[in-house]
């Protein structure tokens, strides 16, 4: 049986290959749709060069600068505004008949793909899948499902700052103590940096918290520093994930009155997620 480290390494390799295929598909689509003409071709080459250069060299988050961050906050607020949160990790009504659980790592680039809308580029420079947005708008906002976030280290531990995993996950849960966990999670994904780099520092975590609308920053800081139950919750999530045989993120499990359906690990197709919700409802 493969060790935990071997499982993580395999999951990361699968994630990298998945992103390579997505990027190649995006490039193929761009080539097929490219208009004729020297001027247009020149523009495409310049844009491609900028994207490739930034992907190869950047370690900082993609969305930097006040204007970009303001756009991120506006986008996340539009997605989540008016939807209740409960516990410190759950979005939606407590009485929702279906519960969708996402095991995630905030530095995981595939989780970034799962979380972001199709009109927003991920940290890998490709459009988001739009799946989580559709889930929230179609089911969570209407009270038909709740969305639970649980922790599973698949990217951070294999990267440049492995010791940051418990802290970065606890940072989202600390925001959850104020009913703002999903604001923190979504903002982190919107401003995610290159996987395996050193962008996640305490200063970065603070900067995400300061952007969350209505969050009491001083209380968040105190809870993150002093509430040991948060890192214990992260460890408990990882133990549960391991017991369930999960080694890749995002890992999505759908539970309802008619049972439980674990989807294939990785970014699920929207049609598969819908089918799972229908099956357990």
pLDDT at residue 64 in the model: 61
- pTM for this predicted structure: 0.82
pLDDT at residue 266 in the model: 96
- Three-state DSSP at 136 gives helix
Instruction: Specify whether the CB–CB gap between 254 and 116 falls below 8 A.
Output: no
List, as one string, the DSSP characters of 163-197: GGHHHHHHHHHHHHTTT-HHHHHHHHHHT---TTS
Q: Mind listing the pLDDT tens digit of every residue in the chain (281 residues)?
A: 555 556 555 655 665 565 555 555 444 444 444 433 433 344 333 334 333 334 333 456 656 667 889 999 999 999 999 999 999 999 999 999 999 999 999 999 999 999 999 999 999 999 999 999 999 999 999 999 999 999 999 999 988 889 999 999 999 999 999 999 999 999 999 999 999 999 999 999 999 999 999 999 999 999 999 999 999 999 999 999 999 999 999 999 999 999 999 999 999 999 999 999 999 99
CA 135, chain centre distance (Å): 14
- Three-state DSSP at 209 gives helix
CATH class of the domain whose range is 4-280? alpha beta
Instruction: Specify whether the CB–CB gap between 248 and 266 falls below 8 A.
Output: yes
Beta strand 145-151 with 85-86 is unpaired
């Amino acid at each position: 049986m493969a060790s935990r480290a071997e499982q993580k390494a395999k999951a990361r390799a699968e994630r990298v290959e998945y992103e390579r295929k997505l990027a190649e598909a995006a490039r193929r689509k761009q080539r097929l749709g490219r208009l004729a003409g020297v001027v247009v071709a020149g523009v495409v080459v310049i844009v491609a060069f900028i994207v490739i250069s930034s992907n190869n060299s950047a370690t900082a988050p993609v969305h930097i600068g006040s204007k970009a961050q303001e756009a991120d906050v506006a986008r996340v607020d539009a997605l989540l505004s008016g939807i209740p949160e409960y516990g410190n990790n759950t979005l939606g009504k407590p009485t929702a008949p279906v519960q969708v659980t996402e095991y995630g790592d905030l530095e995981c680039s595939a989780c970034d793909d799962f979380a972001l809308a199709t009109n927003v580029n991920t940290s890998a420079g490709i459009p988001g899948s739009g799946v989580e947005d559709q889930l929230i708008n179609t089911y969570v906002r209407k009270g038909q499902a709740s969305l639970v976030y649980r922790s599973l280290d698949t990217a951070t531990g294999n990267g440049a700052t492995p010791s940051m995993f418990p802290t970065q996950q606890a940072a989202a849960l600390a925001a959850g103590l104020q009913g703002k966990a999903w604001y923190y999670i979504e903002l982190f994904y919107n401003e995610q940096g290159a996987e395996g780099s050193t962008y996640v520092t305490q200063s970065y975590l603070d900067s995400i918290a300061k952007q969350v609308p209505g969050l009491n920053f001083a209380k968040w800081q105190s809870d993150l520093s002093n509430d040991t139950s948060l890192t214990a919750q992260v460890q408990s999530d990882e133990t549960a994930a391991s017991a369930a045989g999960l080694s890749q993120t995002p890992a999505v499990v759908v539970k309802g009155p008619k049972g439980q359906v674990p989807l294939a690990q990785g970014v699920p197709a929207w049609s598969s997620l819908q089918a799972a919700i229908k099956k357990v409802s």
